Structure 1
Amino acid sequence: MNIKIVQIPKIEDPRGNLSVIEKNVIPFEFKRVYYLYDVPTGAERGGHSHIEQQEFLIALSGSFDVVLNDGTHQKTIPLNRPFEGLLIHNGIWRELKNFSSGAVCLVVASDVFCEEDYVRDFEEFIKSTLIS
């Protein structure tokens, strides 16, 4: 599966830690940053894949699970450390579930929003993986 947990440099300090995302951390230039927060108990986010776009997800606060599917295998990755990010390349279905109270998910994306880049139907996604 074309995903990877990436360590984000952490500068430890008694006054509080600092993590920095620079060019050498994410293997793409980002064009969009957004974040999810105040997700109600039991709610799910995601539920799509991208044709071209890559994303880097970080649990800035709290925790949540990222359920990934490449059309053949499914894997669940828990995110709960602000110094680790999940790199998701294109062609991977993702669903975000089990948000803890106060969870914040930061997403760094390789491109601006473009609806045509989204595959929002799981059956369509599975069919596209069979063609590839």
Structure 2
Amino acid sequence: MKLEQARIINLPKVEDPRGNLTFIEESKHIPFDIKRVYYLYDVPGGESRGGHANTKTAQLIIAVSGSFDVIVDNGLMKQRFHLNRSYFGLYIPTYLWRELDNFSSSSVCLVLASDFYSPDDYIRDYNEFLKVVRCDSQSTFS
């Protein structure tokens, strides 16, 4: 999986003196239909979340409040994204390892997912992830 497929998506921002509004329409602003929405909050200082790759589910990660970092890893290279604006979303396709850390106090991480939750969709062991992506990249070039 190419690391550059993980990218920041600018979401619509309607500015108003009474407060701004951002909206997301599936398959228009993001490259998938939304099947699941979840959010992380009250993450204690120094803790990390994520630590997995998905085999079927793409995600859009948004810092709706506060800030945090997302480290995306394709098995060869890593890239760190700092999310701190509610009108930016980080698109993460399948087969990319992700970890979230550096949470500010009162941060809220919103995740839009392209599929329903299934434990079989997750690779939670990093060494297993490396085996899968290296095997896949070798078959791609054979």
Give the TM-score category using the shorter length: over 0.9
1:109 and 2:107 correspond: no
Flag the structure with higher helix content: 2
Match of 1:36 among 37, 40, 50: 40
SS at match of 1:40: coil
Q: Give the letter for the 1:120 counterpart.
A: R
Q: Distance in 2 between matches of 1:68 and 1:83?
A: 20
Percent same amino acid among aligned pairs?
51
Q: Distance in 2 between matches of 1:25 and 1:35?
A: 19
Question: Which of structure 1's runs of 4+ aligned residues deviate more than 4 A?
Answer: none
Residues 7-45 of structure 1 show CA distances to partners (whole Å, capped at 9, x for unaligned) of 010000000000010131111001000000000001110
- State the match for 1:13 in structure 2: 16
Gaps of 5+ in 1: none
Q: Distance in 2 between matches of 1:35 and 1:22?
A: 18
Match of 1:58 among 58, 62, 76: 62
Matched positions, count = 132
1:127 and 2:141 correspond: no
SS at match of 2:43: coil
Gaps of 5+ in 2: 137-142
* RMSD, aligned CA: 0.5
How far did 1:4 drift?
A: 1.2
Match of 2:82 among 69, 78, 82: 78
Q: Distance in 1 between matches of 2:63 and 2:45?
A: 16
